Amino acid sequence: MSKPVVLVVMDGVGWTEKDHGNAVLHAYKPQLDELMSKWPHTTIKASGTAVGLPTDDDMGNSEVGHNALGCGQIYSQGAKLVNESIESGKIYESTAWKDAVSFAKDHNGKMHFLGLLSDGNVHSNISHLIAMLKECKAEGLKEARVHILLDGRDVPETSALQYVDQLEEVIASLNDGDFHACIASGGGRMVITMDRYEADWSMVEKGWHIHVLGDGDMYASAREAIEDLRAKGGYTDQFLPGFVVGKDGVPAGTVEDGDSVILYNFRGDRAVEISKAFDYMNKGFDKFDMVRRPDVYFAGMLQYDGDLKLPEHFLVEPPHIEDTMSEFLVNKGIKSYACSETQKFGHVTYFWNGNRSEKFSDELETWEEIPSDIIPFERKPWMKATEITDHMVAAIESGEYRFLRCNYPNGDMVGHTGNYEATLIGVESVDLMLKRIMDACRKMNYTLIVTADHGNSDEMYDKGTNPDGTPKPKTSHSLAVVPFAVYNGPEGTEVKEGDFGLANVAATVVKLLGYEKPESWLESIIK
C-alpha cells in the first residue's frame, strides 16, 4: 500500500569524504548518519549537467536545484539557456533588451557591454557579445562600447590578445558611417569588477572608476594596454591592472546619462556586486564612493540572485518548465503542503512549481512561510529550523496532506558566511529537527525522503591560508553530490544502482505515492 510522502531538502548539505573544512562530515548528526547507513540510501548529483548547466565543473544552486526537484526533468540553464535564446532570437524579444535599446535611442545614448572576454563558457562567452553587437547595429543604434574583463583562468593564462583580436575584427567589420563601436576599458578579472561574496568591494570600486568614469591609465588600444602592462609587471591576464582606452586624454567610452549597460556574464557569483552597484546606486548604496551616478538602464544577461531579484532587468528568462510535480499531483486530486522560512520559501514554491508565482490550485496546495530573522546568519545559525519543524509536524499529524515538502536553509545560508563553527551548528540544528520529522512520520506511517539541493557546508575552506596561517574561508557552493535516503518506506523499498541526480526525485516521490510518472520525467531512484 502506498503512503503519504514527506520530502526534506537540507539546503547546502553536500555528502563527501573530502575534508576542506567539511562541516557536514564533522557535525554531530546521528539522524543523517542513520539515514545514510541503515535505510535505503545513495548519493545523487546536484550540479553541472545533472541540473541543466553546461559542464560538470559548474556548481549547482538553489534555484536550478529546486527546478529539477520539482519537475523531474533537466532543463537548460546558464550558458545553454543563453545559447538557445540567442540562436532563436528570443533574447531580442525580451522586455529588457527592447527597453535597453529604446532607452539609449531615446536619450541619444550609447549601448555598453561589460563582461568577461573569453570563450571559457563558465562566466561568459565571447560569441554572445558578438551576437549582441551585431544586433545593435541591425536595430539602428549609433554607438556601442565594450568593457572587457580578461580571463586567464577558464582559458590559458595569457590568451587575452586572441579574444581582443577576434573582437576588434568583428568591430571593424561593423563600423561605418552609421555605427561606431570600440573597446573602452578593461582589466583582469581578479583585479577589477568581478569580486564575489563581498570579499573585496575595492575590486568593484576600481571597476566603477575604470568602466564608468574612465578614470585609469589610458592607452590607444586594448592590445597596447595589455602588451605594455605585461611588459612592465609580468602579469597574467586575470591579474592585469585596469586600463582605459582613449586618445589625447579623452576616454573612448565613459558611462553617461542616457546610456544603457548590459552585463553579459551569465554566471551569477561574480556578477552580483557590480549589479548591486548599478541597481542600487540610488537606493542607499554605500559600499564605495561612486563619485558620479549616471542615469542609465542596466540589465544582466540573467537574473543572478533569485532571492534578491537582482538585477531587476535581465535578458534571458528562466526556462519555461512544464509537467511539474505540483501540476501532476493537482491533476490527481492530491493535497500538498510546502513550508520554509523566507530565505528559501520561494524555492519550495516559485522554483519548485517551475518558476511560477501562482499555485496550480488554491484548494489543493497549501504554502506556509515563516519570516526569517533579519540578522547575520552566523549569529543565529539555527535560524528558523524549530519553527519549520513545528509547522511540518503539525501538517503531518493533521493527516490532511499526501505530499509535504520543506527546506531547511541552514547549511547554505550559514555556509555562505564562511564561518566554520557557525556552520557546524547550522548542520547540527537541521539534524536535530530531522529527529522530530522522523518521529512524526513513524507515528503517522508516512514515508520520508531526505536530500539536499547542492553542496556548500561540506567545503568551508578555500585553497591557501590567511596571513596569520588560519584557513581561508570558502563561501561558495561546492560540486559535491548530495545525500538521498528513504525512511519508513513501503516494505521492500530498494534503491537502484545508477547515475542519478535531483531530477530523478520527482519520479521517486510519485512512485512512493502509487502513481506512474509522466513520460517526460526521468526515472525513479527506487525499484
Distances (CA, A) of 106 to 100, 103, 112, 141, 291: 10, 5, 15, 10, 25
In contact, 276 and 114? CB cutoff 8 Å: no
Domain assignment present for 523? no
Asked which of 246, 268, 300 is the last residue of a domain, the reply is: 300
Asked which of 300, 330, 353 is the last residue of a domain, the reply is: 300
Q: Are strands 461-465 and 471-473 parallel, antiparallel or unpaired?
A: antiparallel
Catalytic residue among 2, 37, 62, 429: 62
Sequence letter at residue 351: F
Domain assignment present for 527? no
**Residues 408 and 481 both lie in one domain:** yes
Q: What is the pLDDT of residue 307?
A: 64
Which three cell numbers mark 128?
554572445
Domain assignment present for 492? yes
**Residues 99 and 127 both lie in one domain:** yes
Domain assignment present for 155? yes
**Residues 209 and 324 both lie in one domain:** no
Please enumerate in sequence order all residues whose Cβ is within 8 A of that of 215, keeping only pairs 6 or more positions apart, or say none.
209, 244, 291
Low-confidence ranges of the chain (pLDDT < 70): 1, 197, 307
**Residues 166 and 293 both lie in one domain:** yes
DSSP 209-267: IIIIS--S-EESSHHHHHHHHHHHH---GGGPPPEEEEETTEES----TT-EEEE----
CATH label of the domain that carries residue 487: 3.40.720.10
Please enumerate in sequence order all residues whose Cβ is within 8 A of that of 394, keeping only pairs 6 or more positions apart, or say none.
none
Helix or strand holding residue 462 (H, E): strand 461-465
DSSP 318-362: PP---S-HHHHHHHTT--EEEEEEHHHHHIIIIITTTS-SS-S-T
In contact, 7 and 447? CB cutoff 8 Å: no
Distance between CA atoms of residues 273 and 469, nearest Å: 28
Domain assignment present for 107? yes
**Residues 167 and 249 both lie in one domain:** yes
Range of the domain at 109: 79-300
Domain assignment present for 519? no
**Residues 434 and 339 both lie in one domain:** yes
Q: What is the pLDDT of residue 506?
A: 98
Q: Annotated catalytic, 357?
A: no
Domain count, the chain: 2
Which three cell numbers mark 132?
549582441
**Residues 292 and 354 both lie in one domain:** no
Q: Are strands 336-341 and 297-300 parallel, antiparallel or unpaired?
A: unpaired
**Residues 273 and 329 both lie in one domain:** no
**Residues 239 and 196 both lie in one domain:** yes
**Residues 65 and 160 both lie in one domain:** no
Domain assignment present for 150? yes
3-class secondary-structure state, position 174: helix
- How do the residues of the chain divide into helix, strand and coil, expressed in percent and rounded to 5? 35, 20, 45
**Residues 71 and 103 both lie in one domain:** no
Q: What is the pLDDT of residue 318?
A: 83
CATH label of the domain that carries residue 148: 3.40.1450.10
Query: Taking Cα atoms as reference points, which of 457, 456, 477, 474 lies closest to residue 466?
Result: 474
In contact, 42 and 484? CB cutoff 8 Å: yes
Distance between CA atoms of residues 340 and 367, nearest Å: 9
Domain assignment present for 61? yes
Please enumerate in sequence order all residues whose Cβ is within 8 A of that of 169, keeping only pairs 6 or more positions apart, or say none.
none
**Residues 171 and 264 both lie in one domain:** yes
Distances (CA, A) of 490 to 5, 41, 56, 303, 470: 11, 14, 34, 41, 48
